[in-house]
Amino acid sequence: MNQIETDRLLLRPWRDTDAPRLVKLANHPEIAHMLASMPHPYSLSDAEDFLERVRNLPANAMQFAITLKNAGDELIGGIGYGLTTRSDKPSEEIDFGYWLGLAYWGKRYASEAAHAVIAHAFEVSSVDRIDTDYLTTNPASGRILERVGFLDLGDSTCHSSGSGLTKPSRRMVLTRSRYLEHKAQGT
């Protein structure tokens, strides 16, 4: 399955033509400072490097461009899962992450996309467990992770490439069995 359709979104493969829009959306400290691996400033070279990595993803990894269905395939952010690229995590760990352009915050797009991609990870892929973090300065991200079934494992720290700082975070985990329980309960 190369794309996922939700009520309002089309989660599709990244394209080389997304690079300019990716730079425009991602080049904001408010976004990069909330993420582990997004640099700031975000340049065309950063976008091209990201798109090259996406073309060569290993098994059990997917990255989707988040677009609005009713806006002509307009890129609004990104979401995906796969082997962690963070040096502070075990290399075999499956990580999960997402981001949206500033104009798209607060509209529940991230929650809608997260539900769809988590379902993909556990129903289409052979992922058994996803470990992730969210920065405590971004409690909205924590609420999204809880809504899709992640359990809070407690305090941690996470280095943000965008800010260059190691910040307080919360460790979260979602297993296949927990996902299936959560799905059966309709939550």
Mean per-residue pLDDT for 120-137? 92
Is 60 exposed, middle or buried (CB count within 10 Å of its CB: 0-12, 13-18, 19+)? middle
Q: Phi then psi for 163, rounded to 5 degrees? A: -95, -20
Q: Give CA–CA dist 80/50, Å, rounded.
A: 12
CB neighbourhood size of 53 (10 A): 14
The 165-175 sheet, strands edge to edge: 129-135, 165-175, 151-160
Q: Give CA–CA dist 16/48, Å, rounded.
A: 8
Q: Give CA–CA dist 63/55, Å, rounded.
A: 9
pLDDT reported for residue 44: 97
106-110, 156-160, 183-187, range with the lowest pLDDT: 183-187
Query: Is the pLDDT confidence value at 113 over 90?
Result: yes
Mean per-residue pLDDT for 111-127? 95
Query: Is the pLDDT confidence value at 49 over 90?
Result: yes
pLDDT reported for residue 86: 64
DSSP 112-144: HHHHHHHHHHHHTS---EEEEEEETT-HHHHHH
Query: Is the pLDDT confidence value at 175 over 90?
Result: yes
Q: Mind listing the pLDDT tens digit for each residue in 58-94?
A: 878 999 999 999 888 889 999 999 877 666 666 678 9
Query: Is the pLDDT confidence value at 117 over 90?
Result: yes
Q: Give CA–CA dist 60/137, Å, rounded.
A: 29
Mean per-residue pLDDT for 40-44? 96
Q: Give CA–CA dist 89/159, Å, rounded.
A: 11
Q: What domains are there in the chain, each with its CATH number?
A: 4-184 (3.40.630.30)
